[in-house]
Structure 1
Amino acid sequence: MSARISSNKRKRKKSFMTKPNRMPRSLRKAGTILSTLLLGASLIPSASAEDGVAVTGLVDLGLMVQHANGRTNATMESGNNKTSTIDIRGTEAISEDLWVRAASYVSFMTDNGALYEDGVLFDGTALTLGSKTFGEVALGRMGALKSTDGDMSQFSLAEGYSPMGANLPHAGLAYIFTCDGTLNNTIGYASPSFSGYRFFAQYSNGVTTETGIGADDDRLFTASVLYNNHGKLRFGAIATYHTHGSLEEKHNATKDIMVSMNYDFDAFRLYLTYQHVFDGLGPNTMLRARAFGFGASEEGFDTDSFMAGVMKDLEGGTLSAVFQASRSEYKGDAKDGNLSTSGWRINPAAIYRYPISRRTTLWTALSWTHGYGMYRRVKDHPIDNPNATTWGAGVTHFF
């Protein structure tokens, strides 16, 4: 199970500056019911690899130390290497060619027991009808193509748009690039493989809420192509069109294109990723205009982001290192004639993962981020501080 990308609009990721909200009683009760369902599911024998019920998951927990704005904070953190998750899926083979799958997963914070997203029990739940000949059609709440969530995640299927993953503070994809997280009210299509090539499409009729025909909800359309023949070369491209009808102020649709490749040179694997965003809500997944003190704008941010990274086997484990950079420009009202409306951000980072068993991995990571221009105005942001040094270490266990 891969890491979850947090969306600043809907999701709450526990930060260095905030305390988690108490889980609603109804969800605590639902958790008891879920435990009963999990026990029942674990007792159901699987008829075959394609016909039965499976319960899997992972738990990730570590210590994170961050220095920013002259202060140092140390906290117990969950989900920085990968998000703690319980995954339940049942599959039925209808014929030699057709099958159906119901899949749900619950993401949670190991350090305090809270659900990963407030007010949501299942972080993803989708019904998929699949054909070996024609591909898969999925309906429900699912991870976006431009995320590490769900069965259609391009980041996971490409076996990495970044060797760092997604969640690690100031090192994962969401801190430099614009990603999409989990989508409600969604239909998705995944083609079968054609000599390593696969094609994908998703449409969400209401990323957060769906209020009816003719309503001005947030809508998202994404299409992608992926090449992964499990050889030396892998690459992919994702195009996204995202409207923002639920915002109080008018905002143009956000358009972006993201391309990535990685290649195995035997001694190491090289990763390269680039994204251009038109009319974004912010310069990345986390920050929004108000964090910079900017006024409203229909055009928002234009951003170019780049990542170069390597992954190398080292002393029984895996060392990954990246250098990320982005340049963003705000096209609205700065409210202050002396306030810069553009800026660069640079971000080197590294993580070492060491498996101590088939299911358990130790990890330690270090990241540094520094912003210029408009980024100097961002102070004490609860999720993303553009000027910070972060070190962490922890353990991830799969079950």
Structure 2
Amino acid sequence: MLSAILLGASLIPSASAEDGVAVTGLVDLGLMVQHANGRTNTTMESGNNKTSTIDIRATETISDDLWVRAASYVSFMPDTGTLYEDGVLFDGAALTLGSKTFGEVALGRMGALKSTDGDMSQFALAEGYSPMGANLPHAGLAYIFTCDGILNNTVGYASPSFSGYRFFAQYSNGVTTETGVGADDDRLLTVSVLYNNHEKLRFGGIATYHTHGTLAEDHNATKDIMVSMNYDFDAFRLYLTYQHVFDGLGPNTMLRAGAFGFGASEKGFDTDAFMAGFMKDIAGGTLSAVFQASRSEYKGDANDGNLSTSGWRINPAAIYRYPVSRRTTLWTALSWTHGYGMYRRVKDHPVDNPNTTSWGAGVTHFF
């Protein structure tokens, strides 16, 4: 489900909306020019700023304290008219029981805490672990960090706010499938805390434990810790994010050991990833820029003794968003990424080439 990781932030409503049914969404479409391996390619693409989505939700008030919400959203590709993920109509389909006193409990298919999707998304509720967002090729969160995307068979909890703090927990009994008694499915447990000091300072911390029972070969559970903060200095907002991953399937969400020609390993990759960036209002729009870097080491067989099993990857990137109306935004973005050491082994990867220059421009319309 790598495609799910690229989804942009959904329209996140307030915890308890008014009774009724609401249909909202957005369409994002633009051009992307990418240069890699001595070749330049130009494509029309959707979802590079935010993923095109139709969001449907029905809310009912049960009492002064209790409410229930059924929410589903469909992600699609406006350049081709196809669904974002083959064979999946609803990228999210969760039933939530909420209490102003005790918080929210959600059941179903939903965005992971460590993603940009769904009502419990930490990346969206913190208003970005990165000011670049998640989608821009080779510069979004999933190209440097390990993220989780959409989860099946999931129960989630979100607390009310306590002096600016909110606490979250999420458990998936089968990230892709749930096959019953005695099954060894992929399972994921995540806990997080989010602090918001009247929008001046925001801080988030996420810890994840992810087993990989559906893989053909044995692999240790992946463990990671991710922390982020952003602070408003009035002239600009500063962003800092760090993640440590132990026994990962790859150095980020998009690449796996096979892309490097590595043999099987139960231990996989250890990775440290870092992002520093800012967001600043300029000429009626908003400029966001980041510098991202990660170092990974593969703890397995390289299949040859001559090439590195560790390496650095760096990525400076920037995006400028200009609102031409309340619902329509123009954007343009530039990204450069380069990998050293083991990254020199990756050639012509269909999802993530670690040595690429990308430029894009497009329009995002909300409805």
TM-score (norm 2): 0.96
- Measure the CA separation in 2 of the matches of 1:40 and 1:201: 21
1:393 match? 361
* Cα deviation 1:174-200 (Å, max 9, x = unaligned): 000000000000000000001110000
Give the counterpart of 1:357 among 312, 317, 325: 325
1:44 match? 12
Per the alignment, do residues 116 and 261 of structure 1 end up closer, same or farther by CA in structure 2, a change over 3 Å counting? same
Per the alignment, do residues 104 and 335 of structure 1 end up closer, same or farther by CA in structure 2, a change over 3 Å counting? same
Per the alignment, do residues 34 and 219 of structure 1 end up closer, same or farther by CA in structure 2, a change over 3 Å counting? closer
Per the alignment, do residues 170 and 91 of structure 1 end up closer, same or farther by CA in structure 2, a change over 3 Å counting? same
The answer to whether the 8 Å contact 1:45/1:52 transfers is: no
Per the alignment, do residues 250 and 383 of structure 1 end up closer, same or farther by CA in structure 2, a change over 3 Å counting? same
The answer to whether the 8 Å contact 2:126/2:194 transfers is: yes
The answer to whether the 8 Å contact 2:4/2:149 transfers is: no
* Cα deviation 1:219-261 (Å, max 9, x = unaligned): 0000000001332100010000000000000000000000000
The answer to whether the 8 Å contact 2:5/2:150 transfers is: no
The answer to whether the 8 Å contact 2:9/2:51 transfers is: no
The answer to whether the 8 Å contact 1:45/1:53 transfers is: no
Per the alignment, do residues 129 and 38 of structure 1 end up closer, same or farther by CA in structure 2, a change over 3 Å counting? farther
Per the alignment, do residues 341 and 102 of structure 1 end up closer, same or farther by CA in structure 2, a change over 3 Å counting? same
- Measure the CA separation in 1 of the matches of 2:43 and 2:146: 26
The reply on whether 1:243 has 2:211 as its aligned counterpart is yes
Per the alignment, do residues 100 and 373 of structure 1 end up closer, same or farther by CA in structure 2, a change over 3 Å counting? same
The answer to whether the 8 Å contact 1:158/1:236 transfers is: yes
Q: Secondary structure at the match of 1:40?
A: coil
Per the alignment, do residues 368 and 137 of structure 1 end up closer, same or farther by CA in structure 2, a change over 3 Å counting? same
- Measure the CA separation in 2 of the matches of 1:154 and 1:44: 11
The answer to whether the 8 Å contact 2:7/2:51 transfers is: no
The answer to whether the 8 Å contact 2:277/2:288 transfers is: yes
Q: Secondary structure at the match of 1:35?
A: helix
The reply on whether 1:53 has 2:21 as its aligned counterpart is yes
Aligned Cα root-mean-square deviation (Å): 4.6
The answer to whether the 8 Å contact 1:162/1:273 transfers is: yes
Relative to structure 2, which stretch is displaced further, 255-264 or 221-230? 221-230
2:70 match? 102
- Measure the CA separation in 2 of the matches of 1:385 and 1:351: 20
Percent of aligned positions that are identical:
91
Shift of 1:319: 0.1
The answer to whether the 8 Å contact 1:44/1:52 transfers is: no
- Measure the CA separation in 2 of the matches of 1:133 and 1:347: 43
Greater percentage in strand: 2
1:203 match? 171
- Measure the CA separation in 1 of the matches of 2:13 and 2:55: 17
The reply on whether 1:281 has 2:287 as its aligned counterpart is no
Shift of 1:125: 0.4
The answer to whether the 8 Å contact 1:41/1:53 transfers is: no
* Cα deviation 1:367-395 (Å, max 9, x = unaligned): 00000000001011011000000000000
Q: Gaps (5+ residues) in structure 1?
A: 1-32
Per the alignment, do residues 296 and 36 of structure 1 end up closer, same or farther by CA in structure 2, a change over 3 Å counting? closer
2:135 match? 167
- Measure the CA separation in 1 of the matches of 2:16 and 2:170: 30
* Cα deviation 1:327-359 (Å, max 9, x = unaligned): 000000000000210000000000000000000
* Cα deviation 1:152-189 (Å, max 9, x = unaligned): 00001111110000010111100000000000000000
Per the alignment, do residues 43 and 166 of structure 1 end up closer, same or farther by CA in structure 2, a change over 3 Å counting? closer
Per the alignment, do residues 45 and 38 of structure 1 end up closer, same or farther by CA in structure 2, a change over 3 Å counting? farther
The answer to whether the 8 Å contact 2:73/2:91 transfers is: yes
Shift of 1:46: 15
Shift of 1:44: 21
The reply on whether 1:302 has 2:270 as its aligned counterpart is yes
* Cα deviation 1:253-293 (Å, max 9, x = unaligned): 00000000000001100000000000000000000000000
Per the alignment, do residues 39 and 288 of structure 1 end up closer, same or farther by CA in structure 2, a change over 3 Å counting? closer
Q: Secondary structure at the match of 2:82?
A: coil
Per the alignment, do residues 202 and 43 of structure 1 end up closer, same or farther by CA in structure 2, a change over 3 Å counting? closer
The answer to whether the 8 Å contact 2:273/2:293 transfers is: yes
- Measure the CA separation in 1 of the matches of 2:63 and 2:27: 36
The answer to whether the 8 Å contact 2:108/2:153 transfers is: yes
Shift of 1:39: 25
* Cα deviation 1:48-96 (Å, max 9, x = unaligned): 9521000000000000000000000000000000000000000000000
Shift of 1:310: 0.3
Q: Secondary structure at the match of 1:389?
A: strand
Q: Detail structure 1 runs of 4+ shifted over 2 Å in the superposition.
A: 33-49
- Measure the CA separation in 2 of the matches of 1:161 and 1:289: 26
Q: Gaps (5+ residues) in structure 2?
A: none
The answer to whether the 8 Å contact 1:41/1:54 transfers is: no
For 1:110-129, list aligned pairs within 5 A. 110-129=78-97
